[in-house]
Structure 1
Amino acid sequence: MAKLIYLTNVSLDGYIEDERAAFDFFPVDDEVFAFTTDLVRSVGTFLYGRRLYEAMAVWETNAALAAQSDLTAGFASAWQAASKVVYSTTLPAVSTADTRLERRFDPDAVRELKATASSDLTVGGANLATQAFRAGLVDECQLLILPIVVGGGKPGLPTGVRANLELLDERRFHNGVVHLRYRTLGQ
């Protein structure tokens, strides 16, 4: 059975967006970017909320991004190779290949997807991740913690949900970013 992994970048104080709904505080760094690309390569399906999907779709719809460097080309290729499921009640249509639009999050359908998938899945977007945590679907939580305190905004981890975690791995990067990989132990 494939794992469902919540993978996200967060500030040291736990936010994926600051109070202006911006996420431009992430440091651009080749080492972290290459590491993230390796993580993405192992994913067979991305489960996205609308906002994160729209932000990520440029890796397929904007060829200039991939043309910037070998690193960006590698990320674009890895992102495009995976299937995507977008959960949105407002998005009229998807703009990328191998992408399905769902109007509501169905935990049973995700359980079936996990049971039949040959590669791991990730869930992205704080609201969608909260639904996945509440349904007990998240097997791992992987955080790239950025060396900045933004003071408020959108929390990267679900509120109102308890999840016990076991640390599986950690990695420190020279720019101060830390990757933490946890297994969920139940709720």
Structure 2
Amino acid sequence: MKTSLDTIISEARELFRDHGYAGASMQDLATRVGIKKPSLYTRFPTKESLVPEVLALTTRETFDDLPDASAPWMERYETVLRRIADTLSDRTRCVGLHLAYGINDETPEAADAVRAFFREQRDGIARILMPAFAKDTAHAMATDALTRLEGATLWAVIDGDTQPMQRAVDALLADARAHGKA
């Protein structure tokens, strides 16, 4: 049976989520997807080369299949916030943030991918907000939204409590409704 690249990338994401960059090994990934380590290296020459692919998958899952661009901005914003919040609540950690803490100057490709991931997340949310807010305001709101959702993950991790995540989403949506153009 041939293991697909999508399977490898999905399983790598789970390893990075569970063990961080340093704790995830190519051997663990090979075992998890049922191939030999040399076969894995023919597809991904280094663990670091997996990071951009893992984060690209996460970005696609966040922004693909949103309500059509002609839909109200608020509907699109709520959809993306809930997707992020649901993933963070269900998985109790953000793969991007978990990777951010495990990379350093010795992993420049991974570091660049993590920075790009969070900028893409922020910019994607900001684009949704721009019909209702000035560009600078939309970027600030998107940055704050990601910060609040990531922060709420703390309580899901330490107490299993997802209510702070729900309150964060509700507050972000209320703020956008109160200050955005209809």
For normalisation by structure 2, the TM-score amounts to: 0.26
Larger Rg: 2
- Larger helix proportion of the pair: 2
For normalisation by structure 1, the TM-score amounts to: 0.25
- Larger strand proportion of the pair: 1
